[in-house]
Amino acid sequence: MLRLQKLTKTYKTGDQALKAIDLEVPKGQVLALIGPSGAGKSTMIRCINRLVEPTSGAVILENTDLTKLGPGALRRARREMGMIFQEYALVERLTVMENVLSGRLGYVGFWRSFLRRYPQADVDEAFRLLDRVGLLHMADKRADELSGGQRQRVGICRALIQNPKLLLVDEPTASLDPKTSRQIMRLITELCRERGLAAIINIHDVALAQMFVPRIVGLRFGEIVFDGVPAALTAEKLTEIYGEEDWEATIEAVEDDEEVEAAQ
Ligand SMILES: Nc1ncnc2c1ncn2[C@@H]1O[C@H](COP(=O)(O)OP(=O)(O)OP(=O)(O)O)[C@@H](O)[C@H]1O
């Protein structure tokens, strides 16, 4: 359903963040994008929905090349792609319900959403989603009263109420403690399965990726250097992705995590 063809991004500074990336994501597949800082993970996620403009190559979402679309058509195409951010990007002074409903902006138009007149069907769906993520009782709370994990659940609902086919997820657990991180990854992957959604999850925590996601893509210096199942991610492969120095810390994290899980 998504195909990247020779996707390249060179920033004005001359940084070549993506070097002719080819990648195919079938319908309903969830994959994790791993790699060291600066490998190009965020750039890749953002080039897909053109928050960052690709320099060359194609982003084909269900037979449409998104790089060729004008502003109106791009806005419509973006409805198909829900985005979940590291920093949640909630509007602090709005309620949980209003934040979730803001995910319908691409459908209901600016004024209707500004006046907070959403169709009843959208409100019903927002309640259903909040119930699914365990936040029904928080619907009227202001966003700034929530914990990090609760905020991310609202972020997930806001992306899903768009009714997307693809989720683009950028470091969803970076600001969360280990236990909450696992809960959020479990929730995202379960929801994808329930809804037949494809997802690309940029995640720096290899252990979490291995625990929850069936396909892992490793980026290094803007190139794909690994693409396979979690079990194929051997010490050699991790060294290839991360370099000699820092993957050992990653392996330790996996072992620590298993111990924690076992102790619980
Ligand atoms: N707005 C920008 N302008 C110029 N260069 C940028 C910009 N954003 C990213 N880069 C560069 O592009 C490369 C890839 O960055 P990117 O943020 O995509 O990597 P990443 O793998 O997501 O890293 P991290 O895990 O640290 O977020 C880096 O060399 C970075 O310095």
Please give the residue that has the higher pLDDT: either 105 or 82. 82
Structure pTM? 0.89
Give the relative orientation of helices 235-242 and 247-263 as an angle to the nearest 10 degrees.
Answer: 130
Question: Radius of gyration over alpha carbons of the chain, in Å?
Answer: 19
CATH code for the part of the protein at 2-80+166-263: 3.40.50.300
Type of residue found at 160: L
Average of per-residue pLDDT values in the chain: 88
Any residues with Cβ below 6 Å from ligand 1, and which?
A: 11, 13, 15, 17, 35, 37-43, 204
Report yes or no: 128 and 159 within 8 Å, Cβ to Cβ: no
Q: Is the dihedral of CA 67, 49, 9, 44 positive or negative?
A: negative
Distance CA 107, CA 105 (A): 5
Nearest CA among 60, 31, 42 for reference residue 200: 31
Distance 13 CA to ligand 1 centre (A): 11
Task: Please give the ipTM for the structure prediction.
Answer: 0.96
Nearest CA to ligand 1 atom 29: 38
Confidence of residue 262 (pLDDT cuts 50, 70, 90): very low
Distance CA 230, CA 223 (A): 19
Classified as helix, coil or strand, 19 is strand
Domain residue spans of the chain: 2-80+166-263, 89-163
Which atom of ligand 1 is nearest the CA belonging to 9?
A: 12
